[in-house]
Structure 1
């Protein structure tokens, strides 16, 4: 039997966490674990008033951890994230899946986490601590506390690129997720499902440092899998992922960015 404890705020729920507890946001991760008989926890903690919605802070846009994919699709100000949210599951999943939960989704999920890493987002914890997305994703299994929101700057029109490679259309899980932010001389290129968590492809970033051109795209594709470590699963082998990653990186960059 799994006990459920409800607190008013995320900060109070964070204080109520402990050994054998999981936080329930939208439920797309935790309830699957419950249904499959996961014995790793015996308590579920939830917040009656999680931060949900889009606002502004000193970094730019602030997206509450309780914001769902459907919420993102309803906000014109987040149009650059519509291609990401719109390809996460079907309507029922998008109505439940939250931004905060997606940061902890393991392969082959976590498409929004890959996009937010490319966008150089910051993770804001209940209590006020802030972590760069790259550090958070690398250490997420050891993070303590609860995510309250993420913060990011809105990209310039056409600067954000995204592509999801799936065997099932329109709502299949990703074989590979790709995202990039091309701004000035500091591009960010991210692959999902090419390591245990979404990772930046630093070699590809260096190749794109001068901007997107036919030559720089070719150079980036030639080195894009350096430092990544894809694995085998039911969707694809590590070999297949490494082979098709340059193909889809080229297609993403040649297709142009999102507004």
Structure 2
């Protein structure tokens, strides 16, 4: 089946073309869509592209940054403003992939490929869609309803700036270094007040169909000093309420067994 490519200069035109047809897909960097084209995916016949420069910009806004959906992992890794996210961007594939893969595309990545979205979830980012009148969608809600947003045009994500150095941490667990597919990824945002964690956010990748919050771990840490006892309680709750999947990379049993080990190392500041 032939695939038609439509290129627009205005976001509203691209958004209209995307939302008006269930057989259209948006092309950002191409790491998802072009893989589908090469695999002979028959579910779409139109590719929509956008040339608006703002789609690929990073700008400071208030207490955070608005990152265009077309910003690549390579651009994130090189940005001084987004230095706290650079270690995450650098573990997304190899150099060729990082030069193509985009922030917006990673929001829709399935299975073991949504590492950057895990970090955004831990940080409490919001997702900005075309036509949303400036009201961002909390990333938790966006991921829960991700299928419903498949025909929406993601313009950008707004990422809060971590309030203190070391509050945000990220770990990717893979069998092949340095650019293997994730067995799991873990991101934590643990701001502290008076020496105690306040507003803990902990997120996992590859532990559910899309990145998810580890609410059991958050409850174990919230209001606690980040000491050995609290870390042990958090590790014990590592997979509470989760049913990790089995795939070609690892079994659900294995993910359940090692999640607490890797979480404990991350919380304790150990390097792997």
Map of 1:11 onto structure 2: 12
Distance 1:55 1:161 in 2: 23
2:31 alignment counterpart: 28
- Give the equivalent residue in structure 2 for 1:168: 176
Question: Which residue is equivalent to 1:229?
Answer: 243
Could you list the runs of 5+ residues in structure 2 that have no partner in the other structure? 193-197
What's the secondary structure of 1:76's corresponding residue?
coil
Check if 1:46 corresponds to 2:49. yes
TM-score, length-scaled by structure 1: 0.96
Q: Compute the TM-score of the two structures, normalised by the length of structure 2.
A: 0.92
- Residue 80 of structure 2 is aligned to residue 79 of structure 1: no
Q: Give the deviation of 1:129 after TM superposition.
A: 3.9
Do residues 132 (structure 1) and 138 (structure 2) align? Answer: yes
Q: Deviations over 1:109-158 (max 9, x none)?
A: 01010000000001011123410011101111111411101112111211
2-structure distance, mates of 1:206, 1:112: 24
Is the counterpart of residue 118 in structure 1 residue 126 in structure 2?
no
Task: Please give the alpha-carbon distance, in whole angstroms, between the structure 2 residues aligned to 1:167 and 1:256.
Answer: 18
Deviation at 1:256, TM superposition (A): 6.6
Shift in Å, 1:211: 3.4
Across the aligned residues of Structure 1 and Structure 2, the Cα RMSD in angstroms comes to 1.3
1:194 aligns with 2:207: yes
Structure 1 position 194, deviation (Å)? 0.5
Distance 2:225 2:122 in 1: 16
CA shift at 1:53, angstroms? 2.0
Cα deviation, 1:4-58, whole Å, max 9, x if unaligned, reads 0001133321111112000000000000000000011011011012511210224
Q: Across the two proteins, how many residue pairs are aligned to each other?
A: 257
Matched, 1:241 2:232: no
Which residue of structure 1 aligns with residue 195 of structure 2?
none
User: Secondary structure at the residue paired with 1:191?
Assistant: strand
Where does structure 1 differ by over 3 angstroms across 4 or more consecutive aligned residues? none
CA shift for structure 1 position 76: 1.5
CA distance in 2, matches of 1:80, 1:192: 18
CA–CA distance in structure 2, aligned partners of residues 99 and 71 of structure 1: 10
Match of 2:153? 146
Ranges in structure 1 where 5+ consecutive residues have no aligned partner: none
Q: CA deviation at 1:59?
A: 5.1
SS of equivalent to 1:113: helix
